[in-house]
Chains A and B, each alone.
Chain A
Amino acid sequence: MPAMKRTLASWGRIHPCTADVDSPAWADSIRFDASPALAYGLGRSYGDSCLLDGGHVIETRFLDRILAFDRTTGLLKAEAGISLDQILRFCVPLGWFLPTTPGTRQVTLGGAIANDVHGKNHHRSGCFGNHVGNIDLLRSDHSRHLLRPGEPLHSATIGGLGLTGIITAAELQLVPIRSACLDVELVRFRGLDEFLTISRESSETWEHTVAWIDCLAHGNSLGRGIFIRGNWSEHGGLDPHPAAKLAVPIDFPNFALNRFSIGAFNTLYYRRFPGRTSRIHQHYSPFFHPLDAVHGWSRIYGKRGFYQYQCVTPFEAGAEPMNEILRLIAASGQGSFLAVLKTFGDVASPGMLSFPSPGITLALDFANQGASTLDLFRKLDDVVRSASGRFYPAKDGRMDPADFFRSYPRLDEFRHHLDPGMSSDFWKRMHA
């Protein structure tokens, strides 16, 4: 089928693009023409890294076949458009799990590699790219390459933002599990210092850690939140999560949710247990992917879409930069519902442009209110900049190119591996 002019959005829906879109059913039918190209997975990136206005976008989600699975070693090889959702429903009943998972399972294998995504076990297992074996890469000159771990083009492709070519297939080392459930502990904390203490105490004994933070709290309550830590359980069976209705968001607004219902959800969440700690036995689905149960939740932000702001500041800078960021957000009154705080460990990823680095990372959503939102971001940027922190391209729709160049030291090395026939709106914005 010939390419169709279509409008594609990312998860934040602020700057949709119009492009010639191909949706190949087979890796052998991917074609390139004279215009610049870019792969598009499930569009779960928030900003413009998965978009290419006026270009040629190659939608990969129909490339979803498992090519090999070794039931004794857990090595999986699959086409790059398979979603983590599909992988989990395949491997969980067999006693295997993803080496790490982002907060949604509606992302493709290729997208997870291209953004070198991280999960709640970063302090133990590093990034997604730490577990990726051979990669099959198709370049825009139609050449096919088998990339082995350790090779420069392999490291450039991990976290390579889709700019080194189209990943057609990849190997992923899964990890064994005895049960699909986790033993989870929730601990209330009253500020960032306490958060850092709990983080440090938990890193040895807890495989998965993350914190939910109340961004609307200020004054004495500033930085209050709930620390969530979990370990794989020995009990609970190997049932995977149920299939989603339709992984592709339908193209019209869904009003099933509104600000009010999410606000209420948050309050319930915060008040959900008495005392300081609480223990629960939880299936991996609500533990790792709580939002996946709420189909199309991002529509609550309305037509103008939303931003996610995610930064990391190094441990050496201490808690103060994050405190300052939280103060600025609370003062702006633009607080978002979903604020996630986590510490990254020092397991280095092979990826040249990988985002995680040892420190504290904060991620939160902001409804797009135009200039006032961007003004706030500029203030937050100043804090991140003076702490020598950086921003996550997968979430970004507005970072200052100077910050990108300053904070990704392997950028020049990466440029050698760019595919000259590929580009993205993010990349163009960085070089405008």
Chain B
Amino acid sequence: MSPSRYHAAIFGATSAIATETLRSLVATRPASLLLIGRHAGRLETLAADLRSRGAECRVLALDLLDPEIPWHQHLADTTWDLFLIAHGSLPDQETTLTDPHLIGREIDINFISPIRIAAACTPLLEKQGKGTLAIFGSVAGDRGRASNYLYGSTKAGIDAFLSGLRHRLAKHPGVRVVLLKPGMTDTPMTAGMPKGPLFSSAEKVGLLAWHAIQQGKAVAYLPSWWFLIMNLIRHLPRFLLHRTKL
């Protein structure tokens, strides 16, 4: 017997890692996907890809940063297996920090908007008594470092929020809250960076993200060896950290 149809709503669905997560999902089981993002044409292109691979897709184009948009109504009438939040932005830190508006915008994309979405999904999960909420954080959230502390701090905020939310939802054993922490991944976000051996392909990270979602892991480093690296970095004495270019 084939597994039952899996219902997922994905925010920031057009991201490269989310795309690969969905391709892995669709390769494993029949799926009905609601693809949400800011750009109708791009969402349609993604939907065409996932439909070719066997999924049912609907798209919803809206400004994810606008709290006035009543997108929640599109989530009614379905029991959701997964809410996945993937949008994010890795800005040029130097430029951003010189402009208060840009700082606000980056925090909006990487922290405020995902948190608003997570907050809106929470009552749905409580009502369902089952389902998974997964958000992309980053290894950058594990310790603030000179190279990307603005981005890192927003991802650390996500981490703290999800840890509290997980606590609150612990009385619903069917509900899982998953923090996905990719390490350096070869996507448009990092296209300008030289590719060293620490880089993983988006396809691999997407596959591992899907495994973590299926298992309902609380925190998943993608790939898992990033746990070791970040553990080292977290425990590096400050005077040593300050001598690095990390």
Complex alpha-carbon distance, A65 and B13, angstroms: 13
- Kindly state whether residue A405 has any CB partner on chain B within 8 Å: no
* Residue interface mask A237-267, B partner, CB < 8 A = 1: 0000001111110111000000000000000
Give the residues in chain A near B39, CB-CB below 8 Å.
Answer: 26
Whether B188 pairs with A250 at a CB distance below 8 angstroms is no
**Given A1-B191, A1-B192: A246 touches B199 (CB 8 Å cut-off):** yes
Partner of B186, one of A1, A24, A66, A248: A248
How many interface contacts (CB-CB < 8 Å) are there between A and B? 69
Give the residues in chain B near A250, CB-CB below 8 Å.
Answer: 195-197, 199
Whether B49 pairs with A65 at a CB distance below 8 angstroms is yes
- Kindly state whether residue B3 has any CB partner on chain A within 8 Å: no
Whether B191 pairs with A23 at a CB distance below 8 angstroms is yes
Give the residues in chain A near B203, CB-CB below 8 Å.
Answer: 243
Whether A28 pairs with B186 at a CB distance below 8 angstroms is no
Give the residues in chain A near B48, CB-CB below 8 Å.
Answer: 65-68
Q: Distance in Å from the Cβ of B150 to the closest Cβ of chain A?
A: 16
- Kindly state whether residue B25 has any CB partner on chain A within 8 Å: no
Whether B16 pairs with A25 at a CB distance below 8 angstroms is yes
CB nearest neighbor in B for A27: B45
Whether B45 pairs with A65 at a CB distance below 8 angstroms is yes
Whether B196 pairs with A66 at a CB distance below 8 angstroms is no
- Kindly state whether residue A48 has any CB partner on chain B within 8 Å: no
Give the residues in chain A near B14, CB-CB below 8 Å.
Answer: 25-26
- Kindly state whether residue A214 has any CB partner on chain B within 8 Å: no
- Kindly state whether residue A303 has any CB partner on chain B within 8 Å: no
Q: Distance in Å from the Cβ of A56 to the closest Cβ of chain B?
A: 14
Give the residues in chain B near A59, CB-CB below 8 Å.
Answer: 191
- Kindly state whether residue B237 has any CB partner on chain A within 8 Å: no
- Kindly state whether residue A377 has any CB partner on chain B within 8 Å: no
- Kindly state whether residue A273 has any CB partner on chain B within 8 Å: no
DSSP majority for the A interface?
loop
Whether B201 pairs with A247 at a CB distance below 8 angstroms is yes
- Kindly state whether residue B42 has any CB partner on chain A within 8 Å: yes
Number of A residues near B (Cβ < 8 Å) is 28
Give the residues in chain B near A244, CB-CB below 8 Å.
Answer: 201
- Kindly state whether residue B28 has any CB partner on chain A within 8 Å: no
Complex alpha-carbon distance, A66 and B47, angstroms: 9
Q: Distance in Å from the Cβ of B195 to the closest Cβ of chain A?
A: 5
Give the residues in chain B near A69, CB-CB below 8 Å.
Answer: 52
Whether B188 pairs with A62 at a CB distance below 8 angstroms is yes
* Residue interface mask B180-191, A partner, CB < 8 A = 1: 000000111001
CB nearest neighbor in A for B15: A25
Interface residues on B, range: 20 to 34
Whether B45 pairs with A26 at a CB distance below 8 angstroms is yes
**Given A90-B53, A246-B199: A26 touches B42 (CB 8 Å cut-off):** yes
Whether A65 pairs with B46 at a CB distance below 8 angstroms is yes
- Kindly state whether residue A289 has any CB partner on chain B within 8 Å: no
Complex alpha-carbon distance, A189 and B1, angstroms: 53
Partner of B191, one of A27, A28, A62: A62
- Kindly state whether residue B204 has any CB partner on chain A within 8 Å: yes
Complex alpha-carbon distance, A23 and B189, angstroms: 9
Interface positions, chain B 29-60, Cβ under 8 Å from A, are: 39, 41-42, 45-46, 48-49, 52-53
Q: Distance in Å from the Cβ of B15 to the closest Cβ of chain A?
A: 9
Complex alpha-carbon distance, A68 and B197, angstroms: 34
Whether B49 pairs with A246 at a CB distance below 8 angstroms is no
- Kindly state whether residue A6 has any CB partner on chain B within 8 Å: yes
- Kindly state whether residue B194 has any CB partner on chain A within 8 Å: yes
20 pairs across A/B with beta carbons < 8 Å?
Answer: A1-B192, A6-B192, A21-B191, A21-B192, A23-B188, A25-B188, A26-B14, A26-B45, A28-B41, A62-B187, A62-B191, A65-B46, A66-B49, A66-B53, A67-B49, A68-B48, A79-B45, A90-B53, A243-B203, A245-B201
Give the residues in chain B near A243, CB-CB below 8 Å.
Answer: 203-204
Whether A66 pairs with B52 at a CB distance below 8 angstroms is yes
Complex alpha-carbon distance, A244 and B188, angstroms: 19
Give the residues in chain B near A23, CB-CB below 8 Å.
Answer: 188, 191-192
- Kindly state whether residue B96 has any CB partner on chain A within 8 Å: no
Give the residues in chain B near A4, CB-CB below 8 Å.
Answer: 191-192
Give the residues in chain B near A248, CB-CB below 8 Å.
Answer: 186, 195
Complex alpha-carbon distance, A311 and B134, angstroms: 54
Interface positions, chain B 58-114, Cβ under 8 Å from A, are: none
Give the residues in chain A near B194, CB-CB below 8 Å.
Answer: 251
Complex alpha-carbon distance, A65 and B18, angstroms: 13
Which 8 residue pairs across A and B have the least CB separation, nearest first? A23-B191, A4-B192, A65-B49, A25-B188, A66-B52, A69-B52, A66-B49, A251-B194
- Kindly state whether residue B200 has any CB partner on chain A within 8 Å: yes
* Residue interface mask A78-103, B partner, CB < 8 A = 1: 01000000000010000000000000
Give the residues in chain B near A245, CB-CB below 8 Å.
Answer: 201, 204
CB nearest neighbor in A for B45: A65
Q: Which of B16, B41, B192, B194 is packed against the most chain A CB atoms within 10 Å? A: B192
